[in-house]
Amino acid sequence: MSNPRKIPLTKRLSWVLEAVGALAAYGILRILPIDAASALGAAILSRIGPMLRLHKVARTNLERAFPEKSAEEIARILHGMWRNLGRTAGEFAHIRTLQREMDRRVEIVGAEHALAAMRAGGPAIYVSGHIANWELMLLAAAHVGLVMDGVYRAPDNPLIASLYDKRKSHPDAALFPKGSAGARGVMDALKRGRPLGLLIDQKMNDGIEARFFGRRAMTTPAFAQLARRFDCPIVAVRVERLEGARFRVTAFEGVKVPRDGKPSDDVAATVQRFNDLLESWIRERPEQWLWVHRRWPKGE
């Protein structure tokens, strides 16, 4: 954390106000039953979301991704997206409830693929995207006996960092912040043969260029580079919201990064393969993806 004396007073005050609001919202949602918290989040964000600047970002992204869809179809997807994000926010306060009620709330498909990747010896990398409630990849893994480490973006506001600690899927799981320190932690964990979960669908300016919905998209190659370096499988994990706070989590058979040519070409082919897979999932349930992210360069 930066030296507080070097941070402007207005910034520190905004952090305090933000933290008070976030912690109060978390407390209220935590008191409610999970279904009520999920529904309340959907109701609130479906009304507030369209008033935010991010709504325009999401609309532009949808129009570029689905040029064939009418304005009415785009509007329905946007409404569904805000409801899904609101539900996800409401469910964040009930991570432990989801863990306790996993058997009746989450249908887990392909657990044998997730476990086989680890039983083969050495580490394994599990990848997904910001779809439905993306916290469920790590939670479902822990439920079937796979204690998976993860990577997250640390909050800009250090006063709400305590909320991020509540995301841990298991006491033995590690959460590494993005950045150099987190990267060292990831490397050490993989060297020790631990499973790692990553979300790979957001823009990375210093990534590599790949196609996503037919457009250029700077994409993280780290998951493919690490899998090639450690010669370990990559397992795709899909999370789907079925109805309310009920889900399906599907793990697919692990694949290895090819070694057919130059390392950079093998990595690029793998990145494109998983971009295509994520795109196919999003096309099936577009309202469940995080369209508010600036995924493509301007003009694309």
| Secondary structure, 3-state, 216-250 | EEEECCHHHHHHHHHCCCEEEEEEEEEECCEEEEE
Determine how β-strand 175-177 pairs with β-strand 149-152: parallel
Whether the model pTM is above 0.95: no
Q: What is the pLDDT of residue 179?
A: 82
**Per-residue pLDDT at 19:** 74
pLDDT score of 5: 54
- pLDDT band of 164, cuts 50, 70, 90: low
Please state, rounded to an integer, the average pLDDT across all residues of the chain.
91
> Per-domain residue ranges for the chain?
4-288
Asked whether 42 and 90 are in contact (CB, 8 A), the reply is yes
* Distance between CA atoms of residues 62 and 50, nearest Å: 14
User: What pLDDT does residue 52 have?
Assistant: 94
